[in-house]
Amino acid sequence: MDLTEITSPSFIKKLDKEQMMELAEEIRKFLIEKLSVTGGHIGPNLGVVELTIALHRHFDSPDDKIIWDVGHQAYVHKILTGRACDFDSLRQFKGLCGFPKMIESRHDVWETGHSSTSLSAAMGMAIARDVKEDSNYIIPVIGDGALTGGMALEALNHIGHEKTNMIVILNDNEMSIAPNVGALHTVLGKLRSAGKYNTAKDELEYILKKIPAVGGKLAAAAERVKDSLKYLLVSGIFFEELGFTYLGPVDGHDFNELERNLQYAKKMDGPILLHVVTKKGKGYRPAEDDKIGTWHGTGPYKIETGDFVKSSSIAPSWSGLVADTVRKIAREDHRVIAITPAMPVGSKLESFAEEFPERFFDVGIAEQHATTMAAGLATQGMKPFLAIYSTFLQRAYDQMLHDVARQNLNVFIGIDRAGLVGADGETHQGVFDIAFLRHMPNLVIMMPKDENEGQHMVKTAFDYDEGPIAMRYPRGNGQGVVMDETLQPIPIGSWEVLREGTDGAILTFGTTIPMALEAAKLLFSQGIHVKVINARFIKPLDTAMLNELFSTGMPILTVEEAVLAGGFGSAVIEYAHDICGKVPPIRRMGIPDQFIEHGNVDELLAEIGMTTQHLVEQMTGFINEQTAERGKV
């Protein structure tokens, strides 16, 4: 079958089992080939091929709402809904999004790149359906990992309480929610699938009640025994206590089992939870053998060997640099504890976990818990390091404000993937953290210009005893600079001048430092002398240096790979507005008031006007305007 000719999933309803198996094989080959070039979330998608085909066979998308939690496992769904022809552009600039996207297809009924949202969204859609007196199915698909998110548990509680008609698919990719308990668990699990367990219960009770005189008592006793066994042995009891009818576990790669259970679920009322066991990476040996999540999401790779196409950079990754420095300090300071919400591989903490297993905690997809747990550790004199992606720190805003900053606790937050992240797109761009953290009292925010300064900032964070401190660092590799052997703390709130100039000043930090220095060189060739300042502390500002700058009257341009609204440039303008005396004109460059979609970071920066050339043009025009204004005076 030519997958690029698919325009609608309706054709699946006409396929027999053998044809569906052939379709699954074709999809796996297609994904392995295409993602070897573009990269992407190959492991999760290879694991849901049969499940996705079965869902589209038994439900009528988009009238029936299939809602993908996280969304990184929706590639098969995209193929079956007519987007296979676009896979060469997957996660590329202006190309196919790596997550569900409403503007791509009417079959994408919910957009998400973060976990644990599907059940709440499904509840909203189910309520709307019932108010409108419609009869369509609502089918959220959520992974076992996403159930550790508090929002998912809140939604389960509400759905069960309201007894809402909904079929929840629990995609358990062989990492059990709870350990299986012996052979009886397996037997009961099989009985429960397709309702056989419920049928057996009903028949047993009916027969016992037919026995004269003692039948009722025997039935009651049997019920108690049955319930006791159920509590002891059945993993689904957690869901049943929340008000769900639990079906499973079901082999998520067996079309016969999927068909039987989906048909049964559709006939039942109230909330159903169908527990489907799948294998992440199924059909591609390197991904199947992965035990730590390396093949969850990848860059390009060689199909034959599974070897990744590595970057030509010899510099360390930022995540690795920070994690290794934390580990180095932990050897001397036994108070150091590392915490991650389900990202030990992404944050490069595997070596820390191996060396200090008693001081490493992966709490699962639970950013709020991770943050408040770090606060609790700090109250007891420990030095917690919370490694968390910028895009996921958003989920712990209240915990940062209420539990960490308000209590002024010594928590070190490593804000990984700060700035534009590229291919993962708008749900993952780390450009909002400055704006939602800067207004928090007691909090220090910093970002290094290179990896050498980065290791010194890690030292600064652990030496700091006056409250919470956050260090931002980008995705990818450093610049390959020479690294100092001895770590030294950097004075809090201190900036540094990287290049002198008298015609204007550029204030910037982190990833935009090289851009500013290159722009200053080009401006110098035009006879314009611009000062470049590494504003490495975003909060507190270096007010002494700012006051000195303001006294010169030279125009100032702030540059940040973060949103302008409430960002670093805003902080400089606020300070300038509040101090007494005349201040020079200030302009800002940064991320505009919009969501930035997926693509290569350089392409994205060019699209929003943040390149060396844009910077040169901005500074030239700015300085010329000010010169003309002074001439009029």
Q: Which residues are catalytic?
A: 280, 367, 395
- The candidate with the shortest Cα–Cα distance to 277, out of 296, 252, 299, 302, is 252
How many of the other CB atoms lie within 10 Å of CB of 187? 12
How many of the other CB atoms lie within 10 Å of CB of 18? 9
Q: C-alpha 73: how far from its chain's center? A: 13
Q: Residue 147: which residues within 8 A CB-CB, separation 6 or more?
A: 116, 153, 156, 170, 177
Q: Is 526 exposed, middle or buried (0-12, 13-18, 19+ CB in 10 A)?
A: exposed
DSSP 3-state of 272: strand
- The CB-side HSE value for 383 (13 A sphere, CA atoms) comes to 19
Task: Evaluate whether 236 touches 208 at the Cβ level (below 8 Å).
Answer: no
Tokens for 379? 């109250």
Tokens for 132? 């409108």
How many of the other CB atoms lie within 10 Å of CB of 258? 24
Helix (H) / strand (E) containing 351? helix 350-355
Separation CA 55–CA 35 (nearest Å): 23
Q: Residue 583: which residues within 8 A CB-CB, separation 6 or more?
A: 550, 576, 577
- The CB-side HSE value for 277 (13 A sphere, CA atoms) comes to 15
Separation CA 329–CA 302 (nearest Å): 37
| Segment 184-187 long-range contacts (CB within 8 Å, at least 24 positions apart) | 184/229, 184/233, 185/233, 185/234, 185/235
Separation CA 297–CA 389 (nearest Å): 15
336-340 and 469-472 as β-strands: parallel, antiparallel, unpaired? unpaired
Separation CA 281–CA 155 (nearest Å): 29
DSSP 3-state of 532: strand
Q: Which amino acid is at 179?
A: P
One-character DSSP codes across 449-482: SSHHHHHHHHHHHHH--SS-EEEE--SSB---PP
Separation CA 249–CA 267 (nearest Å): 18
Separation CA 128–CA 506 (nearest Å): 52
Task: Evaluate whether 125 touches 153 at the Cβ level (below 8 Å).
Answer: no
- The candidate with the shortest Cα–Cα distance to 313, out of 164, 479, 464, is 479
